[in-house]
């Protein structure tokens, strides 16, 4: 990480409130980086982050904080932190297009119960990136009305190694092979996805680590991992 906006986005992805992060002027700081970590390969979100405020914001800070001024240091640090948080918010929003605003509005609506109490109670089990996938496909569903397409797309993006089959000859059935260990959280995620996108006429069969053999698909022809269907 080198930029403030990278730190803010990573904190949100980890469900860390960016407001809990305190920014302060590094003593000293690198002239070649915006974030000044003791470890240049730092990946954790630290509660206090030292920065070089002149890296991108020299025109703002050049006359605000004289490094030779040592009086009222606590007040200076507080003002600096507030200003950096404001600049970080602008930094993040500058990279957003109209679609991303809509996605954020949908996520906000899910948290506030506009998609029902069930979604409101379960939305936190998804990561921030997964919430964006859900919200984006809700918008796609509104636009296209293709519930099976957005169901498939959502599952493939959240369960990246999964396979999806349709048994529409004998009955309206969708078969999911998720290729992952079954856990309570993953079960809840699938139920939320079904709740949001599944057409009521379809029955869903879910297979987790093992599935029946499918000729022509190597991953499903492993002898010890076959089930009867």
The reply to whether 133 and 170 lie within a common domain is yes
Least trusted range by pLDDT, from 79-83, 184-188, 225-229: 225-229
Residue-wise over 57-79: b if at least 16 C-beta within 10 A, else e?
beeebeeebeeeeeeeeeebeee
The reply to whether 156 and 214 lie within a common domain is yes
Number of domains in the chain: 2
Of 31, 66, 94, the position where a domain reaches its end is: 94
Q: What percent of the chain has pLDDT over 90?
A: 30
The reply to whether 64 and 119 lie within a common domain is no
Average pLDDT over residues 140-168: 89
The reply to whether 178 and 121 lie within a common domain is yes
The reply to whether 88 and 118 lie within a common domain is no
State pLDDT tens for residues 60-91: 887 776 666 667 778 878 888 898 899 888 88
Phi, psi of 165 (to 5 degrees): -120, 155
The reply to whether 128 and 53 lie within a common domain is no
Of 94, 129, 153, the position where a domain reaches its end is: 94
The reply to whether 142 and 180 lie within a common domain is yes
The reply to whether 137 and 162 lie within a common domain is yes
Structural domain of residue 36, as residue ranges? Answer: 4-94
Report residue 135 as tokens: 């919200």
Phi, psi of 12 (to 5 degrees): -65, -40
Residue 79: predicted pLDDT? 85
CA distances 89 to 34, 115, 165, Å, are 16, 27, 43
The reply to whether 123 and 199 lie within a common domain is yes
Per-chain mean pLDDT for the chain? 83
Q: What percent of the chain has pLDDT over 70?
A: 84
Task: Please enumerate in sequence order all residues whose Cβ is within 8 A of that of 34, keeping only pairs 6 or more positions apart, or say none.
Answer: 2, 3, 4, 51, 52, 55, 56
């Amino acid at each position: 990480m080198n930029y403030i906006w990278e730190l803010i986005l990573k904190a949100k992805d980890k469900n860390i409130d960016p407001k809990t992060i305190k920014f302060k002027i590094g003593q000293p700081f690198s002239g070649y980086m915006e974030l000044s970590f003791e470890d240049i390969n730092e990946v954790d979100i630290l509660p206090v982050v030292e920065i070089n405020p002149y890296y991108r914001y020299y025109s703002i800070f050049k006359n605000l904080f004289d490094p030779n001024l040592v009086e009222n240091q606590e007040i200076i640090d507080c003002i600096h932190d507030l200003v950096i948080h404001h600049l970080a918010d602008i930094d993040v929003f500058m990279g957003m297009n109209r679609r991303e605003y809509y996605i954020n509005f949908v996520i906000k609506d899910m948290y506030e119960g506009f998609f029902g109490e069930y979604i409101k109670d379960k939305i936190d089990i998804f990561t921030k990136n997964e919430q964006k996938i859900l919200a984006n496909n809700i918008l796609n569903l509104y636009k296209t009305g293709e519930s099976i397409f957005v169901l498939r797309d959502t599952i493939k993006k959240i369960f990246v190694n999964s396979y999806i089959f349709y048994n529409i000859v004998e009955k309206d059935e969708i078969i999911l092979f998720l290729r992952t260990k079954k856990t309570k959280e993953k079960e809840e995620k699938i139920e939320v996805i079904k709740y949001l996108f599944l057409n009521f006429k379809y029955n869903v069969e879910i297979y987790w680590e093992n599935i029946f053999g499918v000729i022509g698909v190597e991953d499903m022809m492993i002898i010890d991992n076959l089930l009867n269907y």
